[in-house]
Amino acid sequence: MSSSAASRPGPITDVAPLSLCAREPHVPADRLVAEMVPPPRFDAVRFGTYIPDPNQPSQTEAVRVLEGFAAGLDGSPAGEPGRRRLFGFGKAPKKAPSGPRGVYLDGGYGVGKTHLLASLWHATPAEPALKAFGTFVELTNLVGALGFQQTVKTLSGHRLLCIDEFELDDPGDTVLVSTLLGKLVEAGVALAATSNTLPGKLGEGRFAAADFLREIQGLSAHFRALRIDGEDYRHRGLPEAPPPYSDDVVTRVAHATEGASLDAFPDLLDHLARVHPSRYGALTDGVGAVCLTGVRPVPDQSTALRLVVLADRLYDREVPVLASGMPFDQLFSEEMLKGGYRKKYFRAISRLTALARDAKRLADTV
């Protein structure tokens, strides 16, 4: 069922809303691997559908470079041709050539980096089973689910690994990802990533990056960095996000919209603490709209980071979010917005604002 179909309002019949807090999804490891494809929002994107800003030549240059990068990747896997090496079966891969083995898209929020990364995935001449696409969090979750060695075997037969929202937030992630990508590059896997931070600057402002400079520099050596300038397209020429609604409106929309969920925001935050972030996508399966009452600032950083992951999954699935209480730009404290995770929080605000704008049509029907 498409997101638009699932969220179609039903003004005549009252439907019982779902509750995210009532869901305890179980996600087997093989689903984590199978779902490493571009999210539904980016199913149809291609290089031809990316519209560069004429005032930002770096956007046009990025398309040119990525088209060439995709064309340079043949369709055979790193190991045995024509066979998915999901758990490392087949012949040993050949060593990759020296020098950068990937491209790294650096730019601000909403300049189309994920659009371009998904377009690269679609344009690479390999069957979908030989290409992986996921966020940085999803990649680390995969390692947690399969174990490091199994993850290396699982991905080493791939032709391309795309990592969206690449950020290093602690020393453990730095060493883990540096080692993982090094193994994959040795196996012949091409890499592509997006971030708001140049690869040589990853980790700055979050932990003692100087202590892990060797690992960070090792990561940087795998990529050719492409800077993409521009303003956030989600706010380019578009109206401001609608203000929060009353509890009554939010509740009525939830009861009038097929597939909608209805939860009190504080209860949802508590529930997220009991569900592993790798399962947040499954938490939203079949949900056509998320209705929240009593939105208020998040109380601490751990809660805030969990909310960031949920916002990413909702945005990927184009699920509109209708809320009462505080506006989304007041979710995070000033201290949080100035701290090491500020880029994550600004991304969450940007995405939730876009989803709140999408939800306005639902409120207009009740």
Determine the pLDDT at residue 13: 54
CA distance 279 to 288: 17
Dihedral angle, C-alpha 112, 117, 122, 126, nearest 10 °: 170
Distance, CA of 130 to CA of 149 (rounded, Å): 18
Distance CA 255, CA 14 (A): 5
List the pLDDT tens digit at each of the 366 positions of the chain.
444 444 444 444 577 899 999 999 988 877 888 889 998 889 999 999 999 999 999 999 999 999 999 999 865 444 444 333 333 333 444 444 445 678 988 887 778 899 999 999 999 999 999 999 998 888 888 888 889 999 999 999 999 999 998 876 666 777 788 889 999 999 999 999 887 654 555 444 443 434 434 555 677 778 888 888 887 665 554 445 669 999 999 999 999 999 999 999 999 999 999 998 888 999 999 999 999 999 999 999 999 999 999 999 999 899 999 999 999 999 999 999 988 788 788 889 988 999 999 999 999 888
Q: What residues form DSSP beta bridges with 263?
A: 292
pLDDT at position 1: 41
pLDDT value for 136 = 85
Assign residue 237 a region (left: φ > 0; alpha: ψ between -120 and 50; beta: otherwise): left
Which residue's structure tokens are 């009991």?
274
pLDDT (0 to 100) of residue 99: 53
> Which residues lie across from 321 on neighbouring strands?
290
What's the pLDDT score for residue 140?
85
Any idea which residue has 């997220």 for tokens? 272
**pLDDT for the residue numbered 85:** 34
The Cα 33–Cα 352 span in angstroms is 27
Residue 355 makes CB contacts below 8 A (sequence gap 6+) with 290, 311, 314, 315, 318, 319, 320, 321
Q: What's the pLDDT at 78?
A: 47
What is the model's pLDDT at position 90?
38
- Phi (first) and psi of residue 132, to 5 degrees: -125, 140
pLDDT score, position 189: 94
